[in-house]
Structure 1
Amino acid sequence: MRLVVFGKSGQVATELQRRGDVDAFGRESVDFSDPGAVARFAETVEAGAFINAAAYTAVDKAETEEALANTVNGTSVAALAKVAAERGLPLIHISTDYVFDGAGTAPFPVDAPTGPLGAYGRSKLLGEEGIRAAGGPHAILRTSWVVSAHGNNFVKTMLRLGTERDALTVVADQVGGPTPAAAIADACLAIAAQLAGDTGLTGTYHFSGAPDVSWADFAREIFRQADLGCAVTDIPTTAYPTPARRPLNSQMDCGATEAAFGLPRPDWRAGLADILDDLNV
């Protein structure tokens, strides 16, 4: 089965390409700021299934570019889903914990009410709704706190700051599951193979790393594994204001994903060790 990946330079798309046997197409081939171009490309490309890893991910910038975020993450995703449904092709789409409001302390089940706090979350929710409306075989995979040896992410930022400073303040009241992009890529491939054989698996799923942790404790583990003597002091979200509000609770119940596809939550600590190996740390 030929797997066509939308997105080429992002963390998950990069990991998918490292696994081989996929054809990845970036913005130079198909621009998600143009829904018509996405539809035309999807209509003609040879494929057995689509994996959508293309997205507008600038969470803070989306507050002032919501129209663009909505097009990339919403309208174009709906256009892709419509073509996939018409062609009978499974679509695996990566979504986010930002579709929730982050309230409470319990993990969010897949059927929990959504309530995005900002433009980015609203745009990703639009994409989810467009996929469901298209009616084709699909798996919407919500994930969180994506990290890898590629691109910009929390691990790489902490490694840079940890070599420059003796101490850092890090937010401690946001809790979630860091998720290695490599694990997401493996999950996408497994889901694509199973969904192609059983369209009854269509639905929305959660996939995040375990155990759940605060950003501050995540930073401490990064410094421990990297052997960096940088002290971490806990601070509340209110002490680190950003243009876009972040959910305090990003914990997600991933039980349905394991039940349907046999995919347990990945241990992010082992994933972190692999990332550090990739970075030669």
Structure 2
Amino acid sequence: MKRIHYLLKDKLGCLSLFIITSTILAGVLAPWVAPNDPEEVHMNLRFASVSWEYLLGNDHLGRCILSRLIYGIRPSVLWVLVTLGLTVGIGCIIGFIAGYFRGKIDAFLMRVCDIMLSFPGYVMTLAIIGILGVGLTNILLAFILMKWAWFARIIRTSVMQYADADYVKFSRTLGRGSFRIMWKHIVPVSLPDIAVTSSSAFSSMILQLSGFSFLGLGVQAPTAEWGMMLNEAREVMFSRPELLLAPGIATILFVSAVNFLTDALQVALNPRLTSAANKKQRVAKTILQGKEVT
């Protein structure tokens, strides 16, 4: 509760959390939130300016930009979030097993992770897309195949810090099973590291998906996605530069919110960083009050 209280005191963290929550809710409720059909074509409204019916105007096919922006949350954010959950789940299972049991199991699993991490991420993702074909599903599958090893290594390191703790040894002495010990004693203390690592990877995966879609390798028309909207606006970037603003600002704003929330989580969940931040606040308050700092 103290960590949550400290997080809520961070104004930038709270604003970032509000932006992320609002965006996710808008994506889930897109059929009810979007004012128009995102794929409905109106050639008579090509490049139409902002109006009450179309608050952000229309694109090169007369489609509602605002509606496409809202529906674009689903592949750009929601499906990436699902992929992140699967990736973290695989990484957690392997990382916990390797970090707790160690020995030959740890050596074997880490060698597999080393092999996976030896391949350049972008190159392997492009190779997987080249084999399986373009599309959102194949990119998300490539993310899972290429990123689980990174999560497994980080989580393994976190688990090894707590596997030899006194309360874990005491539980072993009492004859409790290994998986029960991991679930009851190691998972709770590892959650902060998992949360910070996952949130930092979230923004990276969003940018990668948008980048692949911008190159025409990700989401395909007519499905709305922020990177693909940037790709469609590229052809008229000099004559109609405002078409780049909506998806560009949405991507920058959401990714920045995730990064700021990651920083806030790291401070709130790390006792050392929290103590240092509290000390700085006390020193600053003392200076402002005109008292001598000793």
Higher-Rg member (1/2): 2
TM-score (norm 2): 0.23
TM-score (norm 1): 0.24
